[in-house]
């Protein structure tokens, strides 16, 4: 199962990619807001994990519209900030920093790994 992980925070990106890879997911990393939507249309993943600090509010709204239209599960990552919570009050959110087991449980709830375990 393919995950696109988007964050400009290198530590969050690398740690999350490692956790997902060790759990058997194929992970592509994306570090900028420019071109994210084009990347999604070019190679649609099974799940998008997005750090809320990567996009502006209009960019986030455009991305939400796209993910909804193609039924792409979206998991938002945020640091502890009221502003970030205000941007996504009713969406799947993983709190940064996270507990590894909690993070994987949220990913698995949105995109079960099933029988496709990667060796």
33 — phi, psi (to 5°)? Answer: -80, -35
Residue 16, domain member (yes or no): yes
Residue 65, domain member (yes or no): yes
Where b means 16+ CB within 10 Å and e means fewer, 23-51 reads bebebeebeebeebbebbeeeebbbbbbb
pTM, whole model, 2 decimals? 0.87
Q: What percentage of the chain reaches a pLDDT higher than 90?
A: 61
Mean pLDDT of 33-51: 92
Mean pLDDT of 75-104: 79
Residue 117, domain member (yes or no): no
CATH number, domain with residue 60: 3.40.50.2300
Domain boundaries, position 72 = 2-110
Residue 58, domain member (yes or no): yes
pLDDT at 6: 96
Domain count, the chain: 1
């Amino acid at each position: 199962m393919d995950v696109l992980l988007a964050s400009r925070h290198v530590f969050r990106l690398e740690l999350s990619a490692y956790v997902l890879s060790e759990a058997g997911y194929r992970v592509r990393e994306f570090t900028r807001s420019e071109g994210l939507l084009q990347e999604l249309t070019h190679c649609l993943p099974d799940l998008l994990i997005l750090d809320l600090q990567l996009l502006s509010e209009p960019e986030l709204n455009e991305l939400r519209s796209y993910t909804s239209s193609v039924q792409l599960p979206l998991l938002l990552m945020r640091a502890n900030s009221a502003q970030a919570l205000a941007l996504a009050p009713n969406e799947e959110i993983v709190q940064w920093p996270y507990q590894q087991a909690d993070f994987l449980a949220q990913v698995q709830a949105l995109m079960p790994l099933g029988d496709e375990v990667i060796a």
